[in-house]
Amino acid sequence: MAHAHDKEIARLEEIANDIRKSIIEMLLAAGSGHSAGPLGMADFFAAMYFHVLHHNPKKPHWEERDRLILSNGHICPGRYAAMAHAGYFPKKELLTLRKFGTRLQGHPERERLPGVETTSGPLGAGLAQSAGLAYAARLDGKKWRTYCLTSDGEQEAGLHWEAALFAGKYRLANLTAFVDRNNIQIDGMTEDIMPIEPLRAKWEAFNWHVIDCDGNNMQAIIDAVHEAKAIVEKPTVIILHNIPGRGVSFMEGKFEWHGMPPNAEQAAIALRELRTLGGRIRAEHE
């Protein structure tokens, strides 16, 4: 198994922190949107855009690129922030999130912003589209891979499991799915709203290879993706156990922050925490 060097891990962690700062700034400017999910998945987005994906921010339509499908479109601030930091578009455009005329729609739309592979938001549909991409790529003998991030709430959707059946049947090993397992959804904790456990057993029963992973541990995320690439007989799902709102103490683990943005005061506290890495270092701007 390939291990990234400590230096690379440190670089990615720093990028994840920058992505978190951008997320807070974007949500404050937008005045609406989802906080917890994007923060929890900031490590994932950093890992994907800065280490895993074969892509070219200057050529978003490059045919041989890996495809990253964001099924849980509501956490798009995390993706947008990662894309801007990777060079897809100017970082200042992040502040247009959710505003009239923006390319950064409240839920992402294909064709509006180059690099956004598909329109998403209505949950349960991303894995199916990803399976279609992976199936077509294999039909054409293409090497590019398809990655799909799904939420845990979306494990309650029928379409999602139709797609899981399909990918299992056709042994789509060029497809890797991720579950943003942060245990919260809009109305509360997933296991109260509609239990999805035992999640590993469900995926295994659908003929997928399953990896449980610490979704806020950069090394663990990268190792899991490498393992998925090595599994050639079936698709792989990586369950990213993570803390929603990660990096901002008063948001961590709170489902109330699922669909809410911070106000100015809360944003200031959040940014201070992120700049100081939770008080461990002095902030530059103080």
Helix (H) or strand (E) holding 268: helix 264-275
User: How many CB atoms within 10 Å of residue 153?
Assistant: 24
> Which residue lies nearer to other proteins by CB, 148 or 271?
148
The burial of 95, by beta-carbon neighbours within 10 Å (0-12 exposed, 13-18 middle, 19 or more buried), is given as middle
CA dihedral 170→48→196→20, nearest 10 degrees, is -160
The burial of 79, by beta-carbon neighbours within 10 Å (0-12 exposed, 13-18 middle, 19 or more buried), is given as buried
| Nearest-approach distance from CB 131 to other proteins, in angstroms | 5
Q: Helix-strand-coil percent breakdown of the chain, rounded to 5?
A: 45, 10, 45
- Do 211 and 184 contact (CB within 8 A), yes or no? no
Distance CA 188, CA 258 (A): 9
Residue 224 binds other proteins, judged by CB under 8 A:
no
> Which residue lies nearer to other proteins by CB, 174 or 217?
174
DSSP state of 48: I
Binding mask 97-116 for other proteins (x = CB under 8 A): ------------xxx-----
Q: Which of 15, 70, 75, 131 binds other proteins (CB under 8 A)?
A: 131
Q: Which of 139, 232, 264, 281 binds other proteins (CB under 8 A)?
A: 139
Q: Give me 250's structure tokens.
A: 């008063």
| Nearest-approach distance from CB 264 to other proteins, in angstroms | 34
Q: Which of 38, 115, 132, 245 binds other proteins (CB under 8 A)?
A: 132
| Nearest-approach distance from CB 280 to other proteins, in angstroms | 43
| Nearest-approach distance from CB 114 to other proteins, in angstroms | 14
Residues 179 to 198 in contact with other proteins, rule: CB under 8 A: none
Between helix 218-230 and helix 6-30 the angle, nearest 10°, is 110
Residue 140 binds other proteins, judged by CB under 8 A:
yes
| Nearest-approach distance from CB 203 to other proteins, in angstroms | 16
Binding mask 231-270 for other proteins (x = CB under 8 A): ----------------------------------------
Distance CA 257, CA 133 (A): 33
Total length of the chain = 286
| Nearest-approach distance from CB 172 to other proteins, in angstroms | 10
Q: Which of 118, 182, 216, 217 binds other proteins (CB under 8 A)?
A: 118
Residues 160 to 179 in contact with other proteins, rule: CB under 8 A: 162-163, 165-166
Residue 70 binds other proteins, judged by CB under 8 A:
no
- Positions in the binding site for other proteins (CB under 8 A): 67, 69, 109-111, 117-119, 121-122, 125, 128-137, 139-140, 142, 158-159, 162-163, 165-166
